Structure 1
Amino acid sequence: MSTLLIVLHVIASVVIIVVVLMQKGKGADMGLTGSSESVLGTGGANFFMKLTAWTAALFMATGLVLTVVESRSVGKSLVDGANIPSLVETVVPSSDAPVTPSGVKGSQD
């Protein structure tokens, strides 16, 4: 099931990219050519806006469902079951000599 959702998610993302690139920008009418017609005529902008909205909704829905499905299918996190040694070790001086702030045992001057 997750494979189908991943395929839908990728298809939706590609469709969003293509549809957004095909839309006419806000400043398209201000060009020097004077051509303000879109490829699909005057109704093309409305079609692309609706297609973008539906595809974005599909993209968000598949993303949410994928998150829920994958979080339930994985029982434990990789970090939870890992045997990671402690990175912070406690340093205990071997003698009673005072330690300078630089961490080097110094002489009593």
Structure 2
Amino acid sequence: MEKLVLIVHILTALAIIALILMQQGKGASAGASFGAGASQTVFGSEGGGNFFTRATAVFAFVFFCTSFGLAIIAKNSAGVTDVAIPSMIESAPAESDVPAADESSDVPSMGSAEDDVPAVPVQ
């Protein structure tokens, strides 16, 4: 059942893309008002705008329904229930991969700032 809904979903998405790409923009009707080949269209002198608009709306509705159906199928197969999110389980802090710094390190200390900087500039 899930595969069938997924196939319908993909085909509907491709149909929506194709229908949107085939539609004319709003500025295309300005040339048609002056008789720029409007009588030679496949869908008549009105054009195919109304047909493509309605077909896009139908396919968008089918796409919405298949999206909703796929969400329900995914929820049922995952076994998710409608209970609240469980609280975080308290546990001991995990050990870090970074080793702790020891005092007997070979790295010299920075020292105090007073040792390196003279109080009065040298001239």
In structure 2, the partner of 1:91 is 99
Structure 2 residue 17 is the aligned partner of structure 1 residue 17 = yes
Please list every run of at least 4 consecutive aligned residues from structure 1 whose deviation after the TM superposition is greater than 6 angstroms. Answer: none
In structure 2, the partner of 1:34 is 36
Instruction: Summarize the Cα distance change of 1:33–1:46 in structure 2 as closer, same or farther, 3 Å threshold.
Output: closer
Post-superposition offset of 1:13:
0.8
Post-superposition offset of 1:105:
3.5
Which amino acid counterpart does residue 50 of structure 2 have in structure 1? Answer: N
In structure 2, the partner of 1:71 is 75
Please say which of residues 53-62 and 65-74 is displaced more in the overlay. 65-74
> Counterpart of 1:47 in 2: which secondary structure?
helix
Matches for 1:56-67 after TM superposition, within 5 Å = 56-67=60-71
Instruction: Summarize the Cα distance change of 1:4–1:91 in structure 2 as closer, same or farther, 3 Å threshold.
Output: same
Structure 2 residue 52 is the aligned partner of structure 1 residue 48 = yes
Post-superposition offset of 1:44:
2.7
In structure 2, the partner of 1:3 is 3
**TM-score, normalised relative to structure 2:** 0.59
Please say which of residues 41-50 and 58-67 is displaced more in the overlay. 41-50
Instruction: Summarize the Cα distance change of 1:25–1:92 in structure 2 as closer, same or farther, 3 Å threshold.
Output: same
Cα root mean square deviation, aligned? 3.1
CA contact (8 A) 2:5 2:66 kept: yes
Return 5+ residue gaps in structure 1 as ranges: 77-85, 99-103
Count of matched residue pairs: 93
Post-superposition offset of 1:68:
2.3
CA contact (8 A) 2:20 2:56 kept: yes
In structure 1, the partner of 2:91 is none
**Percent of aligned positions with the same letter in both sequences?**
31
**TM-score, normalised relative to structure 1:** 0.65
Instruction: Summarize the Cα distance change of 1:105–1:73 in structure 2 as closer, same or farther, 3 Å threshold.
Output: farther
Which amino acid counterpart does residue 59 of structure 1 have in structure 2? Answer: F
